[in-house]
Amino acid sequence: MQIYTLFSGSSGNCVYVKDKNTEILIDAGKSAGAIEKSLTALDSSLYNIKSIFLTHEHTDHTAGLEIISKKHHIPVHMTSPSYERIVPSSAFLHSSAKKHDTRYEAEIGSLKVRSFEIPHDSMMNVGYIIENEEGERFGIATDMGHVTNEIEESLTGCNYALIESNHDIPMLKSGPYPYFLKQRILSDRGHLSNECCAELVTRLARSGTSQFTLAHLSRENNTPDKAFSVTRAALDDCGFTSVKLNVASPIVSTLVHK
Ligand SMILES: [Zn+2]
Ligand SMILES: [Zn+2]
């Protein structure tokens, strides 16, 4: 299984997964043109994408869907609450959108995809576990107000995981955001701090996850160095020095696993 983040953060999110001849995207939060350009650089194209799985309806996860659905006939899987929020007002999503329960499973070629609920200030938000026929398992969890038992149980046993490391709490508190927005981000339906990410990552490393990518970093309230050093130090302190860790770029394809 090859996994790349094409884009990550509040300016747009899109994850590309390729296994044998099955290729899927998680979210399409950049323009169709930008996503196509990124896929071309990885020797692929939107024409190869078998399905898109949506986490939630926020624009940084959906921005490219309308034009992609106009030009391509790629099934777009989403939960019912997200469907109700974005499909009725869409011109092109009606024929491609697939409505699901919050917890659902789908088989796309050689991949099995399973969703789980993540608390966030959206109609609904889900993470995904993606597994291939060889038993390789990849988990993705972002836009996470706090870590629930369901999130941790779902991610346990993944070989690779992409986890939100959104903000440094002191930077957020002293930063330029208005008070209400700071409270929103810090709430249990907001985004995950570097420290909470590091705690989750070390617990997952204990259960065998060997490779992590930190994602959805805030541009204003975090730096790649801060996010990396907090989780790296937590892993090293627990003796997980051989666990691989990197940080997803907001705008350049970043390898999660190959
Ligand atoms: Zn969101
Ligand atoms: Zn987001």
Q: Residue 13 has which token pair?
A: 């999110």
Fold of the CATH domain 2-252: Metallo-beta-lactamase; Chain A (3.60.15)
Amino acid at 85: R
Compute the distance from residue 31 Cα to the ligand 2 centre, in Å: 15
Residue 217 has phi, psi (to 5 degrees) of -70, 140
CA of 239 to the centre of ligand 2 (A): 32
- Cα(52) to ligand 2 centroid in Å equals 16
Distance 12 CA to ligand 2 centre (A): 7
CA of 237 to the centre of ligand 1 (A): 31
- Closest to 52 (Cα-Cα) out of 118, 103, 102, 108: 108
Cα–Cα distance measured from residue 202 to residue 157, given in angstroms and rounded to the nearest whole number: 13
pLDDT in tens, 137-156: 999 999 999 999 999 999 99
Cα separation values, 59 from 9, 11, 30, 55, 219, Å: 11, 9, 9, 11, 16
Ligand closest to the CA atom of residue 27? 2
Q: Over the stretch 40-86, which tens digit does the pLDDT of each residue have? A: 999 999 999 999 999 999 999 999 999 999 999 999 999 999 999 99
CA of 57 to the centre of ligand 2 (A): 9
Task: Tell me the three state secondary structure of residue 161.
Answer: strand
What are the residue ranges of helices labelled H in the chain?
32-41, 59-62, 65-71, 80-86, 149-155, 169-174, 179-186, 194-206, 224-237
Q: Averaged over 8-35, what is the pLDDT? A: 97
CA 143–ligand 1 middle distance (angstroms): 5
The reported pLDDT for the residue numbered 146 is 97
Tokens of 10: 């509040």
Binned at pLDDT 50, 70 and 90, residue 120 comes out as: very high
Measured in angstroms, how far is the CA atom of residue 58 from the centroid of ligand 1?
A: 5
Of the listed ligands, the closest to the CA of 29 is 2
User: What's the mean per-residue pLDDT of the chain?
Assistant: 97
**Span 96-113, average pLDDT:** 97
- pTM for the model: 0.97
